[in-house]
Chain A
Amino acid sequence: MPDSSAKPRVGLFATCLVDLFRPSVGFAAARLIERGGCEVIVPAQTCCGQPAFNSGDRKNAREIAAQNIEAFAGCDYIVAPSGSCAGMMAKHYPELFEGDPNMAARANAFAAKCHELLSFLVDERGVTKAEADYPREVTYHDSCAGLRELNVQSQPRKLLASVGGLTLTELKNSDVCCGFGGTFAVKYGEISDAIVTEKCAHITAGGAGVLLAGDLGCLMNMAGKLSRQGSKIEVRHIAEVLAGMTDEPPISAPREPGK
């Protein structure tokens, strides 16, 4: 029997984009999970398998899923700073192993332990306050998978409201896709561009100096477009702000000399 007073063991699934492009989000997520009264481990990991799954390559998607189920076997929870990857694991892993006598039960049990970071903090751990200050006007984009697969909507707003000095200006059409869509952004670059251009028009018109969201894919898309447009709007993952870890330059922004 595990010690009931022991802290829950959370396997942090950093996501491949955070691992590769923005490790600071991983550290921010780890700090938030620890503040939520949990211990954090980071098992060896690559990707959730979504690129294969959404390209119709079920075989590779299954193999990667099985690898993750194995790697995180000892965790009470698996938490990802991404609605998209958490949705893949929580909603689609069971689909991948439907009818597989060896894996179906394991996949279902694994899926039930998977959470998106902010909904984990608020809904599972009862966190009501972020211990951070960020005296800026920010706006927030609801990333699609988190919003529609995992009902991540009130949780980020609740936590942002508790950040010292922060003002949230709601983004018009915040629930409309930014046009990223994984490989879609490259396969149908021109359409993706039209969608992100419209998104950036709303972001710019809103007037906030900082754009936040909970998915690095969407953030890289919007940050990449804003910087191409010459915009000065800073783009960050919401976990960085909630954890009070905003020392790293914003996404797509240059590193100051000497840092």
Chain B
Amino acid sequence: MSALPTSENFKANAHAALGDAQLQKALGHVRVNFIERRASAAAGLPEFEALRDSARDIKNHTLAHLDLYLEAYEKNVTASGGRVHFARDAKEACALIVDICKAEGARNVTKGKSMVSEEIGLNAAIEAAGMAAVETDLGEYIIQLRGEAPSHIIAPAVHLNKEQVEADFRRVHTALPEGRNLDAPESLLAEARGILREKFLDADVGVTGANFLVAETGTSIIVTNEGNGDLTQTLPRAHIVIASIEKIVPTLEDASQILRVLARSATGQDMSVYTTLSTGPRRASDPDGPRAYHVVLLDNGRSAMLGTEFEDMLRCIRCGACMNHCPVYHAVGGHAYGWVYPGPMGAVLTPSLIGVDKGGHLPNASTFCGRCESVCPVRIPLPKMMRHWREREFERHLSPASVRYGIGVWAFFAKRPALYRLAAGIAMGALGLLGSARGRFRKLPLAGGWTDHRDMPAPQGRTFQSQWKAKGGRTR
């Protein structure tokens, strides 16, 4: 994918998404299935709420001592025969990975699912260096064939339907018989599995992300449902882990604690099908496994979030529950957000990573309904942090002039109760008279944003405060 953001065009992206009947149908899956599954998984575990507290506390503790845990992690990776590389930004991370691949003499690189690799635009970098990069997660494989970005952090192809996938497979898998039957989802799966099996066997280097990096052991952990991550990291000569610094947890015990909320929040499973731990390269006694093990640790703006009002965001474990429960995500899907991370977590993280000048729409495009926070397994106050972005925008005068002006005029009256009562009395009296026959307005000057889509209910007439006073109600 291209890592070039289109978040500035959020409104146009959203407009297109709302008019895309196929996408709207596909989003129905998110609106129903993810929500029901999470709810039943959470309800099935009496200690679920306590586990959320515990997951939050583990992450907070780790972030408060991140430097120490990073050092311990590096030491333990090195002790197990691996190497840790620190990358300040996307460019450095890509260069490090490309260099390792080159040093391995690689031609084919397989990849497990990794949002950080999307963030740094890794596939493009590998391909620009003359090597092939193949996504091995089914959803990622499909969108790679289409040249698209993921539209969801755990279900990257959730915006597509079966027929679209079939058409892509027929377009790309030209060595297979034309008349083959691909009607059933199982046949699509079998075809992808057959193609990917060859890719796994041909791979020189395997790149995976990490759900956790365990400081006490130098272990990286991935969770998958397809087993593709295991084949990606065990078959090739070298395994490269690309992960961002906040993936660290102190101990294996901590990781298992958080694992108990991760899959339940994401897919509603008790555990993902595969939870795979890797610690260093193949040991002398191991029958298989990679001969080289590298970890590229990416900062890319995260350390700058420490100690700020956005630090809580670094607790995120990328489960996707926030977007699964977001009415805005349900309406427009992930691509409208215009970069790697969609939904509420993306609305907070994206401005941190690409700048609020480019990503400013995202934290504004929220009703603050709070459903994301209510399901977040690590209790990130997502609406509060979106509001913090709005504050930064307001301070920097990045908010649209019409908004600033509107708020200014409104605040002028709101801060002057006597003037407010006078103006409100006149305005509501007039609107009440105008609107009483129909009870509503189909059009109102300056209210097009509202009346383009719905009627504006007419006011009853005199304001409550003036009627209260007139009826002798007490004001003090």
Contact = CB atoms under 8 A, between A and B. Distances in A.
B455 A181 contact: no
A116 to B, nearest CB: 14
A58 B387 CA distance: 10
A190 B15 contact: yes
B464 A148 contact: no
A45 B440 contact: no
Main secondary structure of the interface of B (DSSP, over half): helix
A64 B407 CA distance: 12
Nearest to B393: A56
A225 B440 contact: no
Interface string B364-379: 1111111101100000
Contacts of A189: 449-450, 452-453
A77 interface: no
A181 B368 contact: yes
A224 B440 contact: yes
A181 B326 CA distance: 13
A227 B390 CA distance: 33
B463 interface: yes
A198 to B, nearest CB: 8
A145 B370 CA distance: 7
Contact of B453 (A40, A176, A193): A193
B369 A181 contact: yes
A171 B389 CA distance: 34
Interface stretch (A14-22, A127-135, A162-170): A14-22
Contacts of A47: 410, 414
B35 to A, nearest CB: 9
A52 B368 contact: no
* Count class of interface residues, chain A: 35 or more
Interface in A205-226: 220-221, 223-225
Contacts of A67: 415, 417
A52 B440 contact: no
Contact of A188 (B11, B394, B457): B11
A255 B436 contact: yes
- Chain A binding surface, main DSSP class: helix
Interface in A26-63: 26-27, 30, 39-47, 49, 51-58, 60, 63
Contacts of B411: 51-52, 57, 60, 63-64
A33 B241 CA distance: 62
A253 B439 contact: yes
Interface string B409-425: 01101110110110010
A249 B439 contact: yes
Nearest to A197: B453
B428 interface: yes
A177 B455 contact: no
Contact of B424 (A20, A145, A191, A195): A20
B32 to A, nearest CB: 10
B440 A191 contact: no
B369 to A, nearest CB: 4
Contact of B468 (A25, A26, A57): A26
Contacts of B459: 20-22
Contact of A54 (B368, B424, B475): B368
Contacts of B462: 23
Contacts of A149: 370
B455 A252 contact: yes
A21 B460 CA distance: 6
Contacts of A248: 460
Contacts of B474: 39-42
A144 B407 contact: no
Contacts of B453: 189-190, 192-193, 196, 225, 228
Contacts of B438: 254
B23 to A, nearest CB: 12
B395 interface: yes
Contacts of A196: 453-454
Interface of A: 14, 16, 18-27, 30, 39-47, 49, 51-58, 60, 63-64, 67, 71, 74, 95, 144-145, 148-149, 175-177, 179-196, 198, 220-221, 223-225, 227-228, 248-249, 251-255
Q: List the 3 closest pairs (A to B, CB-CB), nearest first.
A: A181-B367, A56-B390, A56-B394
28 contacts: A14-B465, A20-B427, A21-B457, A21-B460, A41-B474, A42-B465, A44-B417, A54-B387, A56-B392, A67-B417, A177-B371, A182-B367, A184-B368, A188-B364, A189-B452, A191-B328, A193-B452, A195-B330, A195-B331, A195-B367, A220-B456, A223-B455, A224-B457, A227-B457, A249-B439, A252-B439, A252-B440, A254-B436
